[in-house]
């Protein structure tokens, strides 16, 4: 975490937007089947039980641990549960810090982040240069929603979202088509 000014940017209200199903299901093509030879477990560290990451992965048979700031589980100080993958949409304002901790943890991960500014700092340049990683790029922009009670898209960012992954995709860049409904 050193070097990033977490306290200045944490809890930004811009961090409260939620991911629609169509942006989550493309990941399923790249995860092993949930019961191939043993259960596959996923930690969703920015997610309540309402999160569609949590609900979709459970629906497809994965074992999911959901943790979130609101239940006292700060990603940066929470000991990772035993898991095979770490997958979520992290707080926008903390994406550099989140990716840095994930690279340090060394587990396979996929994080949905805005592409704007992703590589635009010396610190991130050095972080990405130091690690192998993969990108999942979509044909359409993801529109997010603001309330689990009303999952109608309400936030259309003027930039693309991509998954930054490690140890999940078969090559450096994977292009996926999404069907927005
Ligand atoms: C962009 S939202 C995405 C929520 C959910 N992952 C989804 O995609 O629907 C990021 C969430 O992370 C939460 N959050 C912010 N800082 C956190 C932290 N340090 N540890 C855990 N959760 C955090 C925010 O309150 C917010 O609900």
CA quadruple 145, 79, 123, 134: dihedral sign: negative
Judge whether 22 lies within some domain.
yes
Structurally, the chain folds into a number of domains equal to 1
Q: How far is the CA of 36 from the centre of ligand 1 (A)?
A: 30
Ligand 1 contact via 163 beta carbon (within 6 Å)? no
Ligand 1 contact via 95 beta carbon (within 6 Å)? no
The pTM is what? 0.92
The domain that contains 131 carries what CATH number?
3.40.50
Judge whether 1 lies within some domain.
no
Beta strands in the chain (DSSP E): 41-44, 63-66, 85-88, 109-114, 134-138, 161-166, 173-176
Judge whether 25 lies within some domain.
yes
Range of the domain at 108: 6-176
Ligand 1 contact via 161 beta carbon (within 6 Å)? no
pLDDT tens, position by position, for the chain (181 residues)?
334 333 333 446 678 899 999 999 999 999 999 977 889 999 999 999 999 999 999 999 999 999 999 999 999 999 999 999 999 999 988 999 999 999 999 999 999 999 988 988 899 999 999 999 999 999 999 999 999 988 788 877 788 999 999 999 999 999 999 987 6
């Amino acid at each position: 975490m050193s070097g990033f000014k977490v306290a200045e940017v944490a809890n930004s209200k811009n961090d409260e937007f939620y991911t629609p199903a169509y942006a989550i299901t493309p990941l399923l093509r790249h995860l092993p089947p949930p019961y191939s030879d043993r259960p596959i477990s996923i930690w969703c560290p920015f997610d309540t039980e309402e999160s569609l990451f949590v609900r979709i992965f459970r629906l497809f048979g994965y074992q999911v641990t959901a943790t979130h700031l609101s239940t006292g589980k700060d990603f940066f100080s929470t000991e990772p549960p035993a898991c095979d993958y770490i997958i979520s949409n992290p707080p926008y304002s903390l994406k550099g810090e989140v990716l840095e901790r994930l690279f340090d943890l060394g587990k396979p991960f996929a994080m949905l982040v805005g592409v704007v500014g992703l590589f635009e700092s010396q610190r991130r340049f050095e972080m990405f240069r130091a690690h192998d990683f993969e990108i999942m790029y979509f044909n359409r922009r993801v529109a997010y929603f603001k309330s689990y009670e009303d999952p109608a898209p309400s936030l259309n960012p003027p930039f693309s979202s991509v998954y930054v992954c490690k140890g999940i995709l078969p090559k450096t860049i994977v292009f996926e088509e999404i069907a927005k409904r």
